[in-house]
Structure 1
């Protein structure tokens, strides 16, 4: 039996814990080290998940941990620099979304990964969520003809708190993080990287300095539409909700559940995070480009860049 892929988990927060849960079902993976920003929390994380080696210096962890790959579950502003450090150290990398907060960084990361021939993947989990994979199957098979994808993304972020209700040292972003999920999903579903895109945003938060509400319109080459409504002012429920309006049916997707318009549940298979992290590990073993590679996600970053300059 081949040795498992040795992984360094970078980050000790909620997303890192979700990755640990998923990797617990991937026999070919072994998280052997964790690198975090807070020593106390990092050691607590390591104890919770049975991780032997603990680091609070990322650069030292890359050098000393003896790993094959890293998973970056860190604040968004750190993704680009940390991904490039991993690539330069000869490690495969799975980077949480967004891969960067601007197009220039995304293009540089992609170029560096290509030159290094390393597995470089973005955690575009929507591509792996079972409802969306089922919808793409139906689209490709001609069983469903999409007319309009309506995406609603809701959170309450009036204070700078993380998913666990704790103070956050960085500020989340509706466009580069949350809209990124749905823009990428729409392009991936239709295999169409050339999308018309337009949008508008509400007032900036007086302290956080970000738009708290946003709407975005997308139009595919064949005329199919997508409408994205996003808010950091919503009091719940939280998350991303998707309505597939098609010629044959209307279906609603939330996380790993799919229902028709009458509320009947559609049977599905593997949960998204499990499928996503399995793909990362498998692509390393098989020495191939993964689904959601840096290269395949770059067109989404170009659309976001266009939106960032044209928001009204």
Structure 2
């Protein structure tokens, strides 16, 4: 299976590492934005060719599937281009930077009959699979989900130390992980209310740096995520409270704490590789991926409500990393 990778930042690295040792996947074409780093990455990972032109790559009949790991604001456009070319696609989170665009991507995939899988790694944690099975079977009831995400982001430098040429978004990117996980765990239970706070524009970065989202469901469940790009050190964890136990996932420490004690869990990169492998396996086996594009829409609806509340207070506008507003 010949793979086209779009983007070579941290997620381009993680997906390439996950694919390079598979006998049924070939790192065929790399698409980047700047010649020198694109060529260097392609040579380092053994891609057969590289280009700065996505349309050129998608026109190649040798390409069997695409992984979109480009900047967040390009995800929707790149996904739609892949769908139009008939190429099955693994799309990095978020699916889009607005609900309208997210719905366009999901609808286009369905209409064209093209597989679009989402990279939502929080759904793929093997340590959480038994709990998900119990929740779905009604053997355990979820009461509360909480998440914390605090990182220093006054400088536009990613987790790997790479200086980015694009700007991140705390709501549409990082909080999307948590909100999607809560939506996934709550299942079909309707949302009763969404409350939120997102700070005004920071004088140095030009983006909101803090965010808080609170969701209530009709089943008396609650979800809370809060975080800041202005933190002086990192905090990244998830807390699940059920009627049977409490599950604290510390992503930085790679640990899970329950009433039984503390156990080691897979690191983020290893867990993310499960998403990459599921995409290739789904195409090989002719099945749907575990996280199809349409399944991202419940989280997108919540995020759009938060964005709409911010727009109503501060005024809808284009922001660094979110053009068009």
Query: Whose RCO is larger (CA < 8 A, sep 6+)?
Result: 1
More deviation in 126-135 or 104-113?
126-135
- Give the whole-Å Cα distance in 2 for the aligned partners of 1:26 and 1:136: 28
TM-superposed deviation, 1:77? 1.0
1:205 aligns with 2:202: yes
More deviation in 114-123 or 63-72?
63-72
Instruction: Find the partner of 1:105 among 85, 93, 101.
Output: 101
The question of whether the paired residues in 1 share the 8 Å contact of 2:151 and 2:233 is answered with yes
- Give the whole-Å Cα distance in 1 for the aligned partners of 2:59 and 2:195: 44
- Give the whole-Å Cα distance in 2 for the aligned partners of 1:192 and 1:235: 38
1:132 aligns with 2:131: no
SS of 1:253's equivalent in the other structure is strand
- Give the whole-Å Cα distance in 1 for the aligned partners of 2:163 and 2:264: 38
1:280 aligns with 2:279: yes
Identify if the C-alpha distance between structure 1 residues 205 and 263 changes in structure 2 by more than 3 Å, giving closer, same or farther. farther
The question of whether the paired residues in 2 share the 8 Å contact of 1:131 and 1:253 is answered with no
Instruction: Find the partner of 1:180 among 176, 179, 183.
Output: 176
* TM-score, normalised by the number of residues in structure 1: 0.90
The question of whether the paired residues in 1 share the 8 Å contact of 2:142 and 2:186 is answered with no
The question of whether the paired residues in 2 share the 8 Å contact of 1:150 and 1:228 is answered with yes
- Give the whole-Å Cα distance in 2 for the aligned partners of 1:25 and 1:136: 30
- Give the whole-Å Cα distance in 2 for the aligned partners of 1:130 and 1:204: 38
Structure 1, unpaired ranges of 5+: none
* TM-score, normalised by the number of residues in structure 2: 0.87
Identify if the C-alpha distance between structure 1 residues 104 and 266 changes in structure 2 by more than 3 Å, giving closer, same or farther. same
TM-superposed deviation, 1:47? 1.9
TM-superposed deviation, 1:177? 0.8
SS of 1:181's equivalent in the other structure is helix
Identify if the C-alpha distance between structure 1 residues 248 and 193 changes in structure 2 by more than 3 Å, giving closer, same or farther. closer
Aligned residues: 307
| Residue 51 of structure 2: aligned partner | 55
The question of whether the paired residues in 2 share the 8 Å contact of 1:35 and 1:58 is answered with yes
Identify if the C-alpha distance between structure 1 residues 263 and 284 changes in structure 2 by more than 3 Å, giving closer, same or farther. same
| Residue 254 of structure 1: aligned partner | 250
Identify if the C-alpha distance between structure 1 residues 155 and 10 changes in structure 2 by more than 3 Å, giving closer, same or farther. same
- CA offset digits 1:55-81 (Å, max 9, x no partner): 121111111362111101111111111
Identify if the C-alpha distance between structure 1 residues 133 and 144 changes in structure 2 by more than 3 Å, giving closer, same or farther. same
TM-superposed deviation, 1:243? 1.2
TM-superposed deviation, 1:242? 0.4
- CA offset digits 1:251-303 (Å, max 9, x no partner): 21134642225742167799422221121112222333322111111121112
The question of whether the paired residues in 1 share the 8 Å contact of 2:149 and 2:234 is answered with no
Instruction: Find the partner of 1:17 among 13, 18, 36.
Output: 13
- CA offset digits 1:143-174 (Å, max 9, x no partner): 54322111011211112222333432222111
- Give the whole-Å Cα distance in 1 for the aligned partners of 2:266 and 2:57: 39
- Give the whole-Å Cα distance in 2 for the aligned partners of 1:186 and 1:28: 34
- Give the whole-Å Cα distance in 2 for the aligned partners of 1:169 and 1:147: 41
RMSD: 2.3
- Give the whole-Å Cα distance in 2 for the aligned partners of 1:28 and 1:300: 33
The question of whether the paired residues in 2 share the 8 Å contact of 1:119 and 1:283 is answered with no
- Give the whole-Å Cα distance in 2 for the aligned partners of 1:280 and 1:213: 33
